[in-house]
Amino acid sequence: MAFVAFGSQAPTKEQGPSKTGRVALFLLLPGLFYLALFFITPLVSLIITSLKAPSATGAIGRYDLGLEFGNYVYAVTQYAPQIFRSFSFAVLATVIALAISYPIAYFIAVKSRNRPLLKGILLTLVVAPFFISFLLRTFAWKQIFSNDSLVVNVLKDIGIFGADSYIIGTNFAVVFGLIYNFIPFMTLPIYANLDRLDLSLVEAGSDLYASPSKTFRKITLPLSLPGVISGTLLTFIPISGDYVVASRDFLGGPDTAMIGNVVEANFLRIQDYPTASAISVMLMATIVVLVSAYVRRSGTDDLL
């Protein structure tokens, strides 16, 4: 899977005498042109739309070109709670997903290294959730935690839960759903990294009388940091824009809306394109800042 490839950064040594010229252009241009037309210009469209003003005719869903920077002020003041919530949910879910995933990645990559069958089975199980629709998985959790479900009733019976407590619609349910859905995104890059960990380095640590925990902290963990960073980006970014989990029809409630929900509602329901675009532009800008910090650290060749 690409998540593995993304984290593993296959050694791309320059091969042979590099020819340039027409062949390279012929190979590159169609794809790059496609991305320019359907990835870059849409971002420009988004910026232009975010500055549009309501149509002079007053028709709903019609906007005129403009330079309404006030759209940004409106978006930030109107949706501050959702922006703050998205950020907190994404940080919280990413940190917990990391804590859950690291031991799994370690077990598959290091402890199962000499058992290919076990390793194959475990890797298949990690990606298994990808093969059932994202929406069906999330909806399954909704039903498992719904108000009259077995889980909630048992919690009430043993007294952990009060009689009128509920799970669906709470912040807990949303963060839980986010963590569940993104564990594989965190596990795979860390696995891909630990899989290449040279165990003789770990042995050297213990030969020099370092305790297992010290060996882990001083050798294994620092070496696996690139995998941790890839996993963090691959988890944090999709979570920050997700709106399925926090939707009221899935695990969310009236007070769990995230940035994605705001964009969806403004763009697709009330046709307030400028506000939806302004929020999207701000989200994208944040991500670009994060990514460029990453690029400055490791260069562009390691990106792909």
Chain positions 119 to 178 lying near another protein, rule: CB under 8 A, are 120, 122, 124-144, 146
Q: Binding residue for another protein (CB under 8 A) from 42, 70, 81, 222?
A: 42
- 242 in Cβ contact with 189 (< 8 Å): no
If the CB atoms of residues 50 and 219 are measured against another protein, the closer one turns out to be: 50
* Separation in Å, CA 54 to CA 145, 164, 276: 43, 46, 14
Q: Among 67-75, 77-85, 105-113, 165-173, which window interacts with another protein (CB under 8 A)?
A: 105-113
Q: Any contact of residue 51 with another protein (CB under 8 A)? A: no
Minimum distance from residue 94 beta carbon to another protein (Å): 14
If the CB atoms of residues 21 and 159 are measured against another protein, the closer one turns out to be: 21
Q: Any contact of residue 40 with another protein (CB under 8 A)? A: yes
Q: Any contact of residue 254 with another protein (CB under 8 A)? A: no
Minimum distance from residue 142 beta carbon to another protein (Å): 8
φ/ψ of residue 144, rounded to 5: -65, -35
| Three-state DSSP class for residue 198 | coil
Q: Binding residue for another protein (CB under 8 A) from 71, 94, 235, 280?
A: 280
Q: How far is Cα of residue 131 from the mean position of the Cα atoms in its chain? A: 18
Residue from 239, 224, 214 nearest 95 by CA: 239
Site map 209..248 versus another protein, x via CB under 8 A: ---x--------------------x---xx-xxxxx--x-
Which 190-209 residues touch another protein, going by CB under 8 A? none
If the CB atoms of residues 147 and 165 are measured against another protein, the closer one turns out to be: 147
Q: Among 77-85, 98-106, 197-205, 221-229, which window interacts with another protein (CB under 8 A)?
A: 98-106
Q: How far is Cα of residue 296 from the mean position of the Cα atoms in its chain? A: 21
DSSP conformation letters of 33-60: HHHIIIIIHHHHHHHHHHT-EE-TT--T
Q: Position of tokens 């370092």?
A: 210
Q: Distance between CA atoms of 184 and 97, rounded to whole angstroms?
A: 9
Minimum distance from residue 189 beta carbon to another protein (Å): 12
Q: Which amino acid is at 286?
A: T
Q: Binding residue for another protein (CB under 8 A) from 8, 71, 193, 224?
A: 8
Q: Any contact of residue 103 with another protein (CB under 8 A)? A: yes
Q: What is the CA radius of gyration of the chain?
A: 24
Q: How far is Cα of residue 230 from the mean position of the Cα atoms in its chain? A: 10
